[in-house]
């Protein structure tokens, strides 16, 4: 499964994102982790619901390829391309998803008017110039094509996990919506998610801040089976509400679906 990394967009690719050493942990754990599993289902649903005729999808900041793998399983036959600045991530992704992979900077993509849908999933918060990245996403899709993004919300949730993940910011709904629109995109759906679990996330972040140097960045990935099943059930119920048309006003993350005019 998968393909080799086939090109480098430019000689110097900035490593602004997730630390390379963390990708191995992610690859081992994310397929079974409630948050990654439910996010993948949410993104597949958004793609199928809003862009059912799409034949090509670009994932910018694809990481270990989990989302591309989920899309490929749900929609066989799509042309899938993953972009990341990290060679470590792309090596893992190339063995995981049946896609083409390109090492490139999210603010300087080698694609113009090429894809039906482009996505960036929990990536923009890592990038200093997130406006430039959104402009590149918009330019990568054909006129009438779609852009799907997810980002973390609420600055008051900032903690060691954000610092370890090299986040530059957490967003408000209005901030990310404004930046998407400034890239020339028309928003067709915007909703928070991880809403029902927001109190749990808030307590966890407060505890992390108190731990200081004792903070363990892998703790949230190592859950008991019972806890993982319970949390996944909660987010599955939330996903059902979003599918029914409910746009949740608050939550630890936000999903935005937009279209290039």
Residue 220, pLDDT score: 75
DSSP E strands, the chain: 5-8, 56-60, 79-84, 100-103, 115-121, 141-152, 186-193, 253-259
CA distance 9 to 60: 13
Residues for the chain: how many in total? 261
Specify the DSSP class assigned to residue 171: B
CA-to-CA distance for 29 and 174, rounded, in angstroms?
Answer: 32
Q: What is the DSSP letter of 30?
A: G
- Give the gyration radius of the chain's Cα atoms: 17
**Rounded Cα distance, 258 and 134, in Å:** 11
User: At 3, phi and psi to the nearest 5?
Assistant: -135, 165
pLDDT (tens digit per residue) in 172-222: 999 999 999 999 999 999 999 999 999 999 999 999 899 887 888 777 777
The mean pLDDT of 239-243, rounded to a whole number, is: 97
- β-pairing, 79-84 vs 100-103, is parallel
Collapsed DSSP state (helix, strand, coil) of residue 115: strand
Quick one: average pLDDT of 25-35?
A: 80
CATH number reported for the structural domain that contains residue 164 in this entry: 3.40.50.150
The rounded distance, in Å, linking the Cα atoms of 69 and 157 is 30
Which residues face 259 on adjacent strands? 146, 186
Phi-psi region of 35 (alpha: psi -120 to 50; beta: other; left: phi over 0): alpha
**Please, which residues have CB within 8 angstroms of residue 240's CB and are 6 or more apart in sequence?**
none
Number of domains in the chain: 1
Measure the CA–CA gap between 125 and 127, rounded to whole angstroms.
6
Q: Averaged over 115-129, what is the pLDDT?
A: 97
How confident is the prediction for the chain on average, in pLDDT? 90
Q: Which residues pair with 102 in a beta bridge?
A: 7, 83
User: Model confidence at 59, in pLDDT bands (50, 70, 90)?
Assistant: very high
DSSP string, 201-220: HHHHHHHHHHHGGG--TTGG
Name the band, by pLDDT with cuts 50, 70 and 90, for residue 122. Answer: very high
Q: Which pTM value belongs to this model?
A: 0.91
Which domain, by its residues, includes 130?
Answer: 5-259
Reduced DSSP (H G I as helix, E B as strand, rest coil) percent helix, strand, coil of the chain, to 5: 45, 20, 35
């Amino acid at each position: 499964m998968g393909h080799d990394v086939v090109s480098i967009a430019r000689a110097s690719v900035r490593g602004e994102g997730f630390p390379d050493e963390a990708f191995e942990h992610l690859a081992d754990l994310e397929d079974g982790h409630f948050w990654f599993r439910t996010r993948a289902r949410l993104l597949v649903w958004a793609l199928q619901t809003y862009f059912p005729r799409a034949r090509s999808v670009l994932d910018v900041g694809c990481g270990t390829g989990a989302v591309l793998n989920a899309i490929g399983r749900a929609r066989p036959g799509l042309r899938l391309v993953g972009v990341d600045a990290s060679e470590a991530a792309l090596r893992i992704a190339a063995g995981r998803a049946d896609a083409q992979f390109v090492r490139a900077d999210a603010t300087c993509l080698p694609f113009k008017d090429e894809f039906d849908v482009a996505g960036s999933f929990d990536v923009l918060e890592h990038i200093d110039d997130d406006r430039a990245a959104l402009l590149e996403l918009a330019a990568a899709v054909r006129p009438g094509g779609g852009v799907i993004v997810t980002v973390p919300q609420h600055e008051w949730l900032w903690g060691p996990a954000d610092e370890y993940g090299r986040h530059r910011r957490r967003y408000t709904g209005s901030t990310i919506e404004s930046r998407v629109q400034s890239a020339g995109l028309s928003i067709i759906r915007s909703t928070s998610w991880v809403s029902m679990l927001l109190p749990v996330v808030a307590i966890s972040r407060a505890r992390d801040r108190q731990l200081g140097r004792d903070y363990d960045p892998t703790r949230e990935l190592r859950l008991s089976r019972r806890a993982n099943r319970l949390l996944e059930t909660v987010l599955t119920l939330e996903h059902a509400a979003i599918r029914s048309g409910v746009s949740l006003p608050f939550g630890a993350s936000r999903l935005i679906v937009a279209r290039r005019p």
